[in-house]
A and B are shown apart, each in its own frame.
Chain A
Amino acid sequence: MGEKVLMKGNEAIGEAAIRSGCRHFFGYPITPQTELSAYMVKKMPKIGGVFLQAESEVAAINMVYGAAAAGVRAMTSSSSPGISLKSEGISYLAAGDLPCVIVNIVRGGPGLGGIQPAQSDYFQATRGGGHGDYHLIVLAPNSVQELVYLTADAFNLSDEYRIPVMLLGDGTLGQMMEPVDFDSIPEPVYAEKPWAATGTENKRDKNVIETLFLEATELEERVLEREKKYDVVKEKLQRYEAHNTDDADIIISSYGITSRVVETAVKILRDEGIKAGVIRPITLWPFPEKIYKQVKPKAFLSVEMSTGQMVEDIRLACECSAPVYFCGRTGGVIPTPDEVVQKVKDILKEVK
């Protein structure tokens, strides 16, 4: 383990991105993710990188398109309403098979919503978000240290599969301070990018990153080709953390910061002799569905800072082997461990 420092989640993403070889960051301020831009503006000029504050979220995501098309590691970040603005550009990035990392530090919605932490962008993140047949790889860290690891993974995975990766955090994770070390961060694995528009030097045919196809069959072919890639990702990339599942009467799922609340709740429940287990999805897309088919609880519970968006994925993953309940708060409110404990007790009365 290396030297530890104390960092805000947003700053830690910035440092992790830099250590992962990102030298192109296109930002636009929005609470609660602005410290990421603030960190990049301080650090990028010192290391020969580019920090550019765009005139809007839309401009920033299209700058990412340009940088990614030129084959460099590029990043942008925002929070919920800003991600909605970026959605058109994200769809284009997916269509161009361009590697990049998009950070969403989620706040309450819909609409302008609020600045307090939320997880109500789950549907938007895991279903693509913009128009067309596509997916993003979606990673959901639950601590500042994991934020660092997954930022590094995000760049590597994006390069490997040529799929844009979204790092999905929430306001608490972005704003809170935790000790981190950077020495244990995964090494950058750079992919060859023979497709990148880097200049032909009159030695090869030109590379074009295109998202418009004149023949319907040609577009269909491209989409289906990409679909095969998604199948590989679904097979290979399901990540989760699970514990106490073998004897569990109830398995509680939550991702990101809410899982910290759940850990406290499970400790209380186990101390009282209640058999509660945990499956914490780390990849939200692909959803870690395999593990849900291997467990046999009497009930599942999804705890979220939304009205229960992950419930659907758990239901699909467990193939209705047990009922899936929901417990959560939304609009910027964080559920307490006590609320989760109470909900579990109520459910276990129902399912016996």
Chain B
Amino acid sequence: MEKRIHIFSGHFGSGKTEVALNYAVKEREKGKKVTIIDFDIVNPYFRTNDARKMLNEKGIKLIANSYASSNLDMPTVPLNLLSVFDDNDTVAVFDVGGDDDGALALGQYRKYFEKHGYQMHFVVNTKRPLTERAEDFLEMANRIETASRLKFTDIYNNTNLSVQTDENTLFSNYEEIEKLSRKMGIKTARNCGTRAALSNVPKKLKETVFEMKIYIPKPWEIQ
């Protein structure tokens, strides 16, 4: 059954923030109430909180540490986070930054996640050094699962090279993702990318397509 709580986690640079933002927007566009949680206790910028304006405009509630994107460099969790577990009619999207350090902080809510049910999506990008092979991802997944005491339920392939992504990027190392999927015993639920990145998706994978928009542009990019 589709759960209402979705956790996005993975190595930094996997693109999980953009994936989580896109997931939240898609759910909102279906008419659902949506809350997104900026659960990044490590990174100072390029985080969910940077999309505050867009989220406001779309009517998506943002829960973020009150010091996110400010000059206070403090690894704290958002104060009002527990409210998402009480809002039974709300889709809750967690963007968990900071690798296993971030996951460790998330683990304190394990009893709530288990009580309400959750899906935890492992966002992977094979174009990142140190995480290119199935074994690297497996090690990262284990570290996150051990730290958070939660289990991944599926994989989101988000292999990309930022602005240099082309139609061949997403599946360029797909055998590693298939291997990872077998080893973890979970399926690759989604293959993610912007429209241009998705122009070459094999027919049998059409149903897994997750088309994204970029919601956190660089300061010099005109939207």
* Chain A residue nearest in CB terms to B47: A175
- How many chain B residues touch the partner (CB < 8 A)? 24
B46 contact from A108, A175, A332, Cβ within 8 A: A175
Instruction: From known contacts A31-B73, A171-B45, infer whether A6 and B220 are also in contact, taking CB-CB under 8 Å.
Output: no
B163 contacts A by Cβ under 8 Å: yes
A179 contacts B by Cβ under 8 Å: yes
Asked whether A179 lies within 8 Å of B45 as measured between CB atoms, the reply is: no
Instruction: From known contacts A6-B13, A42-B130, A177-B13, infer whether A337 and B222 are also in contact, taking CB-CB under 8 Å.
Output: yes
A7 contacts B by Cβ under 8 Å: yes
User: Which of chain A's residues have a CB closer than 8 A to the CB of B164?
Assistant: 4, 179
User: Which of chain A's residues have a CB closer than 8 A to the CB of B6?
Assistant: none
Instruction: From known contacts A114-B71, A115-B71, A171-B45, infer whether A178 and B128 are also in contact, taking CB-CB under 8 Å.
Output: no
| Residue of A15, A116, A171 most packed against chain B (CB within 10 A) | A116
Contact pattern, A 101-116, Cβ under 8 Å of B = 1, otherwise 0: 0000000100001111
Interface size class of A (residues with CB under 8 A): 20 to 34
**Bound Cα distance from A114 to B220, whole angstroms:** 21
CB distance from A29 to the nearest CB of B (A): 10
User: Which of chain B's residues have a CB closer than 8 A to the CB of A264?
Assistant: 220-222
Asked whether B220 lies within 8 Å of A116 as measured between CB atoms, the reply is: no
* Chain B residue nearest in CB terms to A39: B130
Chain B interface residues (CB < 8 Å from chain A) = 12-13, 43-46, 71, 73, 125, 127-130, 132, 160-164, 218-222
A37 contacts B by Cβ under 8 Å: no
**Bound Cα distance from A336 to B218, whole angstroms:** 10
User: Which of chain B's residues have a CB closer than 8 A to the CB of A263?
Assistant: 220
User: Which of chain B's residues have a CB closer than 8 A to the CB of A261?
Assistant: 219-220
A334 contacts B by Cβ under 8 Å: yes
CB distance from B168 to the nearest CB of A (A): 12
A116 contact from B13, B71, B163, Cβ within 8 A: B71
A243 contacts B by Cβ under 8 Å: no
* Chain B residue nearest in CB terms to A113: B71
CB distance from B132 to the nearest CB of A (A): 8
CB distance from B116 to the nearest CB of A (A): 33
Asked whether A8 lies within 8 Å of B219 as measured between CB atoms, the reply is: no
**Bound Cα distance from A4 to B43, whole angstroms:** 24
**Bound Cα distance from A113 to B13, whole angstroms:** 27
Asked whether A175 lies within 8 Å of B45 as measured between CB atoms, the reply is: yes
A260 contacts B by Cβ under 8 Å: yes
User: Which of chain A's residues have a CB closer than 8 A to the CB of B222?
Assistant: 264, 268, 337
Asked whether A32 lies within 8 Å of B221 as measured between CB atoms, the reply is: no
Seed contacts A6-B128, A114-B71, A116-B71; 10 additional CB < 8 Å A-B pairs = A5-B129, A6-B13, A6-B161, A11-B129, A32-B44, A113-B71, A177-B46, A179-B162, A261-B219, A264-B220
CB distance from A163 to the nearest CB of B (A): 31
